[in-house]
Amino acid sequence: NLSFNFLNNSIIKDVTTKDSKNFHTNCIASHNVTFLRYTITAPGDSVNTDGIHIARASMVKVLDSNIGTGDDCISIGDETTDLHIENVNCGPGHGISVGSMGKNPAERDVSGIYVKNCTFTGTSNGVRVKTWPSAPATLRISGLHFEDLVMNNVSNPVVIDQQYCPWNLCDKAKPSLIKITEVTVKNVKGTSNTKEAIILSCSASKPCDNVEISDIDLLYVNPIPANFTTICENVKPRVFGKQNPPICATTA
C-alpha cells in the first residue's frame, strides 16, 4: 500500500492502511524515521501482508500503534540498526520477526533491535528470529532486546529458529552460518497455546551466545500439561528471576 523509502528525519503519524494486496508498508534505506499511532488492519488469513517491513535502515521507531494482519506485524530485514518498537499491539498476525535471513550472500549485519511494552493477541508467534540452514549468508545478528511483553493465547511466544524451513522445502544438511549474540528476553508473561513456551533453536556451527533470560511467567491456555516446557539447542543462556516454565528444561 505505502512505501516510505530513502527518508531522513521524518515522522509518519495517524495513518491507517487497510486490506493491502501485499505488504502494507515498506521502510527501506531510511534514517531517523518514526511511525506514530500507525494502524494496520487486514484479515488474519491474508497472505504475505506484512504490516511494516523495515530493512537497511537506522534509528527507526514504531510507537503506540495497532497492527493486525495475515503475516508479520513487523518484519525486520538485513542492515537494520537501532530499531525501537514500543507500545505496539500485534494481532492477528505472525508476530514481530527478525528475518528470514541467510538466503542472500550480500546480506549485512543486524544490530540493536528493541521490542518493549508490546502485546500480542492470538498471533502465530510472539517475537521471532528466523535464519535459513544450508544458505550462504554469514552475517551477524546482535543486540536483540525483548522486554515487558504480554502474550495472549500466542503460539510460540519467543522463538529463535535457525532451522527455518517453511513447508519443509529446503535443505537442512548444513547449519545456518549466521551468528546470533547479545540477546535479552525479560519480563514476558501471559498465555501460550503451544507446549513449548520458549524455543531457542540455534545453529550447530555458530551457537548463540551472551543470551540472558529473566522473569518469564507463561501459562498454557488450557490446564497445564506435564510437558509444558522450553527448548534450547546450541545455547546456554544465563537465567534470572522467575522461570515459568523452567528455562532450557529440554536441551540439545
250 contacts: CB under 8 Å, gap ≥ 6? 229, 230, 231, 232
Give 62-104 pLDDT, tens digit per residue.
Answer: 999 999 999 999 999 999 999 999 999 999 999 999 999 999 9
Closest CA to 56 of 107, 118, 103: 107
Q: What is the pLDDT of residue 251?
A: 56
Cell reading at 173: 544438511
Q: State the pLDDT at residue 166.
A: 83
At 211-247, the pLDDT tens digits run 999 999 999 987 766 678 999 999 999 999 999 999 9
Task: Please report the pLDDT score of residue 140 as a whole number.
Answer: 98
Q: Cβ(140)–Cβ(179) under 8 Å?
A: yes
Residue from 31, 53, 94, 145 carrying the catalytic annotation: 94
The CATH H-level superfamily of 2-244 is Single-stranded right-handed beta-helix, Pectin lyase-like (2.160.20.10)
Residue 250: predicted pLDDT: 63
Residue type for 82, please?
Answer: D
The verdict on whether 84 is a catalytic residue reads no
Q: Where are the domains of the chain?
A: 2-244
- pLDDT for position 252: 47
Q: What is the pLDDT of residues 170-182, one digit of tens each?
A: 788 899 999 999 9
Whether 239 contacts 214, CB under 8 Å: yes
Q: How far apart are CA 45 and CA 230, in angstroms?
A: 28
- Residue count of the chain, please give it: 252
